[in-house]
Amino acid sequence: MESRCEFINERILMCARDLVPLDVAVGLETTNDKLREECIGKGMKFEDYLRVVDIAHKLGVGIKTYLLLKPPFLSESEAIRDVIKSIDDIMGLDIQTRISINLCNVQRGTLVEALWRKREYRPPWLWSALYILKYCKGKYPELVLMSDPVGYGRKRGPHNCGECDKMVASAIKSFSETQDIRHLTDTFRSGCECLEKWKWVLRLDHKGYGTSLFT
């Protein structure tokens, strides 16, 4: 079941749990309150998420946490850094949760679309999602990570060059289903001409990962 944090309290969750075996999925998007407010406008704080986690743990209800890759106003490198930092923050609190990374896409009638039309926003590269999954699964082998790149390969959706989009998206989906990191490492090893362009894009605004990002 998906819900916003403000709709969840102990009474409601207990009633739902008594009806069916239950997991609750909530959109945290990022552990950074400033980014969540200024780039996403979510209207919640990290402490609201932690309250739900505490209630779910008390009642034996599973938690699935959504993080958002590349909301508006973040560069590609900043977006990667934010998702990894958010996963580190969650794991540092010893929270029992699955984490799903949602890749931002361009929806009609939104600020993101207005920025996209002015060429001030590009949906995330699929390479970025694949890298985050590979890096974090290697760091936290027991963590269940997943992603479903909706609308991949389209201009409004997460994409690479067009030639390798299906290959990379398939690797992400296969990893999400199996948690076998080889789907990710093999795809990075196979590569594509645009992989070097992705690395070049990151180098333009890269400030903190050094060469480890590309290993």
| Residue-wise pLDDT tens digits, 48-87 | 999 999 999 999 999 999 999 999 999 999 999 999 999 9
Q: Which residue has the tokens 């030639």?
A: 163
pTM of the model: 0.91
pLDDT band at 94 (very low <50, low <70, confident <90, very high): confident
pLDDT at residue 55, as a whole number: 94
pLDDT reading at 45 higher than 80: yes
Percent of the chain at pLDDT above 70? 95
Query: pLDDT-based confidence at 205, cuts 50/70/90?
Result: low
Number of domains in the chain: 1
**What's the average model confidence in pLDDT over 109-119?**
95
Average pLDDT over residues 183-202: 94
- With cut-offs at 50, 70 and 90, classify the pLDDT of residue 170: very high
Residue 107 neighbours by CB under 8 Å, 6+ apart:
113, 156
Contact 163, 148 (CB under 8 A): no
Give the range of the structural domain holding residue 99, as residue numbers without chain letter: 5-214
Contact assessment for residue 130 and residue 147, using Cβ atoms and an 8 Å cutoff? no
φ, ψ for residue 64 (rounded to 5)?
-120, 130
Backbone conformation region of residue 96, classed left if phi is above 0, alpha if psi is from -120 to 50, else beta: beta
| Radius of gyration of the chain, Cα coordinates, nearest whole angstrom | 18
